[in-house]
Structure 1
């Protein structure tokens, strides 16, 4: 059987389509390539985005800075000095980009000069920390990335 250029083009197209289909099937069935949304309820969170922008602006308008210190006991969060620490209420959310099961959130109120995130809940690696709190009716939002040893 002699292969002319027409049959060669058809055979090349069949091999190319088979090659592409192999990768499509592999990407859809292999669990290493799962592409879930980054957070649950992504679209609902997107609707409240203007409130987050306002809370970040409130945080930027504070005179002092929020400081994160990594110690042997965990992460110490120090609030700006102009705030009365006993009137702060809010929550801390720690997000682990590499493992969704390690994410956790805890509320706080009436703190001392600092807030301690205990070492027992943290493992080494990158963490995204979100600190959301209210003070005198205003909402404040602070976000940062840390590399925990």
Structure 2
């Protein structure tokens, strides 16, 4: 049987469409490929952007901002030496872009200027670290992307 060019074009188009549809269905139904939003309450978080930026700017205007140091024990968050540690409150949030199941939040409780995020809580790879903290009624924010 001989196939003319019109029939060949139709068969090629049907084959291409079938190929694309196979991958669309496979990606949307397979649990391995999750298509989640960055956060569950994305729109509420978007409304807070301006306040977050202002708190970050306030933190940057301090004579000494928060510093990070990677050690063998984990990530050391170093608060400014000039501040009284008993007046520092807040929380540290670590967000794992590749898998939200590894995200965690820890409250800030200091016995010295340092807060240690233990190594056993961290997997190798990229993390987004956000420190929302308050000192004597003023709110600050520190945000950094780290690779551990």
Bin the TM-score by the shorter chain: 0.7 to 0.9
Structure 2 residue 7 is matched with structure 1 residue 7: yes
List gaps (5 residues or longer) in structure 1.
none
What secondary structure sits across from 1:32 in the alignment? coil
Look up the match of 1:147.
Answer: 147
TM-score, normalised with respect to structure 1:
0.84
Distance 1:12 1:113, change over 3 A: closer
Do the aligned partners of residues 33 and 123 (structure 1) sit closer, same or farther apart at CA in structure 2, a change above 3 Å counting? closer
Unpaired segments ≥5 residues, structure 2: none
When residues 5 and 99 of structure 1 are mapped into structure 2, their CA distance, relative to the original with a 3 A threshold, is: closer
Alpha-carbon distance, 1:111 to partner: 4.5
Give the match for residue 130 of structure 2. 130
Q: Specify the alignment match of 2:72 in structure 1.
A: 72
Distance 1:86 1:46, change over 3 A: same
- SS of the aligned residue for 2:75 comes to strand
Asked if the contact 1:94/1:105 (under 8 Å) is kept, the reply is yes
Name 2:27's counterpart in structure 1: 27
Give SS of 2:35's match.
Answer: coil
What is the deviation of 1:110?
5.6
- Asked if structure 1 preserves the Cα contact closer than 8 Å seen for 2:95 and 2:129, the reply is yes
Distance across 2 between alignment mates of 1:97 and 1:6: 48
